[in-house]
Chains A and B, each alone.
Chain A
């Protein structure tokens, strides 16, 4: 079945550095991918919608200059957390669905645990 791969699964970085998280659709093309953030023991909150070949759409309150999203191909979207701070520590999850649409549900990556020290 459709698989979404997210890398890395865990990353620890120092405050002030940048971290890139990759989201790949392994066996389908996705014109749209979504990035969510999940704080401990909380639900998933949509951060942004990543559109292939165009600018991402950010949810209210999400800093686009801090969370850079690039959707350069139909199988890859990246989220870069720039100048990371401890409050950015969280679980980041991407999702994607085959571009053919229909009744294809969103498939989720396994998430990336970011810890900023």
Chain B
């Protein structure tokens, strides 16, 4: 069975500082990996996804993530955090590239940004 672990429940960074959110997955086959962001009371917005190819993927809002098969990780990074990045971030894994199977989500990491 698939599973996703986000080790950090809550992270606080200063505005302008770099950010890395950790994600580890467990899946026997080729994983399809996603990062979503959720603002309070809102739905999910897709930041980026990895299906195949280049292991460093670029997303929206200046985010990127690197797929490392040897470490079963898909960490999310941003070089300079903005106050508007404060939100909940979810890593997810799916069985297929298409949307015909559901995603399994990690428990999320809440990001706080301080001045």
Contacts and interface: CB of A to CB of B under 8 A. Distances in A.
A105 B46 CA distance: 9
A42 B98 contact: no
B31 interface: no
B43 to A, nearest CB: 4
Nearest to A101: B98
Given A108-B43, A113-B41, A103 B107 contact: no
Contacts, number: 65
B25 interface: no
Interface residues of A, number: 31
- Main secondary structure, interface of B, reads loop
Interface residues of B, number: 24
B34 A44 contact: no
Contact of B99 (A36, A41, A96, A113): A96
A44 B105 contact: yes
A105 B43 contact: no
Interface of A: 6, 30-32, 34, 36, 41-46, 49, 91, 93, 95-98, 101-111, 113
Interface of B: 34, 36, 41-46, 49, 51, 90, 94, 97-100, 102-108, 110
